[in-house]
Each structure stands twice: as C-alpha cells, then as structure tokens.
Amino acid sequence: GKALLSTYEPDKRVESWLKVKKDYIDGLGDSLDLVAIGGWHGMGRKSAWWSPGLLALYDPQTGVYQAVCKCISGFTDAEYKRIREKFSVGTEFAYNPRETAMMDEYDLGGMGTPDVFFRPVEVWEIRGADITLSPVYTAALGLVSDERGLSIRFPRFIRRREDKSAEQASTPRDLAKIYFSQQSGEVKTARKGKE
C-alpha cells in the first residue's frame, strides 16, 4: 500500500487536509434568530469593535433574554463598524454595566458581565454547527437537562433580521426542538413566524 500524503495532527494546518464543518454545507446546520445583548472589546485587528457579541434567546413566558452563545465570525468590517457605532456606550442602545444598573432582563448564566450591554433592539440570524449541552449557558435550562443549558457550537453571523423585533426571536423551546432533532438525525431551522 501507498503511504498517505500526511497524517492528521490536531491544531496543525497542512495543505492535504481540509476541515469541513457541518454548517458550511448547504442544507446542514441550524439557523436561529437571536437577540444581540452585549459585547466585549475585540483583540488585535478587531480592537476597535465589539467582538465577540453576546447573543440570547427570548423567553416569552418570563420576558427574560437567555444568553446562548458568543459570536465572533461571519461579520464584515462594515458590519463591525455599524455595530460599534450603534451600540456605543452613551447612545440609547448601549450602556456600561459597571456604571449603570441592568436595564433589561438578561440571564447570563456563568458568562460573566460583558464590557457593554446592548439594549434588545436587533435580531441576528445565526447559523451553528451543533447545539450542545453547556456547563456555562442556562438557555433552555430544564427543557433538555435540569443541570445544563444549551449553547451553539461555532456560531456564525448570517444577517440582521430587520423584519423581526426582539420579542419575535427564537425561543428556548425552539432551541430545544433543534437539539432533539439533531439527536434523532434530522436537521431543522427554527424561526418564529413567516420568512
């Protein structure tokens, strides 16, 4: 037999291996409409922007936004600049959590406090590779597990949903439904309302 061109080594890039995540293939990967609720100062090239952004589900039964993931990929530079301008501390859409009491009902789980809280005014479509049980996030806690919430692996920004309000975002039940669909081998998209 012939030898392989190279062997696989984790965290090492080589030309003969290509990593393909499920969400990169059309028809696979799940899409959710999430509310942007906060951000951290970026690093390196992204130091002038909010990156990552903290995203949440909306629970219509309690009125609480449940943090579900941080998102750092899929944004263009223009979108990063727009986000930074809109959600600058001192505008009506953002505030410093160290200087101002929380204005909205956010369940951050074990995430800690972001550098800035966003008011819940934008819904972003996010696609991820998988929905997983999380020891940190409490999104959908009790719907799948009594000890762990759910989170999104490899979340990627797709677009702003200007046609939706924060109260029309994906819910904990939507996320749990996708999780159970994944476990049974189905792939679904969970969005409330019409497209």
Q: What is the pLDDT of residues 119-145, one digit of tens each?
A: 999 999 999 988 999 999 999 999 999
Rounded alpha-carbon distances, angstroms, from residue 147 to 45, 54, 143, 155: 38, 22, 10, 23
Residue 150: pLDDT above 60?
Answer: yes
| Cα separation, 184 vs 174, whole angstroms | 16
Going by pLDDT thresholds of 50, 70 and 90, the confidence category of residue 161 is very high
Residue 63: exposure state from Cβ atoms within 10 A (0-12, 13-18, ≥19): exposed
Q: Which DSSP helix (H) or strand (E) runs through 69?
A: strand 64-71
Chain mean pLDDT for the chain: 87
Other Cβ atoms less than 10 A from the Cβ of 166: the count is: 19
Single-letter amino acid, residue 121? V
Q: Which of 71, 53, 179 is nearest to 120 (CA)?
A: 53
Single-letter amino acid, residue 111? M
CB 66 within 8 A of CB 149: yes
Residue 183: pLDDT above 60?
Answer: yes
- Radius of gyration for the alpha carbons in the chain, expressed in angstroms and rounded: 18
Other Cβ atoms less than 10 A from the Cβ of 57: the count is: 30
Q: Which of 29, 35, 36 is nearest to 59 (CA)?
A: 35
| Cα separation, 8 vs 6, whole angstroms | 7
Residue 14: pLDDT above 70?
Answer: no
Going by pLDDT thresholds of 50, 70 and 90, the confidence category of residue 179 is very high
Return the pLDDT at 3. 57
The pLDDT of 69-88, averaged and rounded, is 96
Return the pLDDT at 1. 57
Q: Which DSSP helix (H) or strand (E) runs through 125?
A: strand 123-128
DSSP state of 91: B
